[in-house]
Amino acid sequence: MRRLAAGDAASAAAAFEHITRAAAQANNAGLEVHAGHGLNYITAQKIAELNEVVELNIGHFIIGEAIFDGLEAAVRAMRAAMDRGRAKGAA
Does 31 map to a domain? yes
Quick one: pLDDT band at residue 1, thresholds 50, 70, 90? very low
Does 19 map to a domain? yes
CB within 8 A of 67, min separation 6: which ones?
Answer: none
Does 12 map to a domain? yes
Distance CA 81, CA 75 (A): 10
Q: Into how many domains does the chain fold?
A: 1
- pLDDT, tens only, 48-77: 999 999 999 999 999 999 999 999 999 999
Does 45 map to a domain? yes
pTM: 0.83
Does 1 map to a domain? no
Distance CA 68, CA 84 (A): 23
Find the helix packing angle between 71-90 and 59-69, rounded to 10°. Answer: 130
Does 70 map to a domain? yes
Which residues form the domain of 61? 6-90
77: closest CA among 35, 42, 36? 42
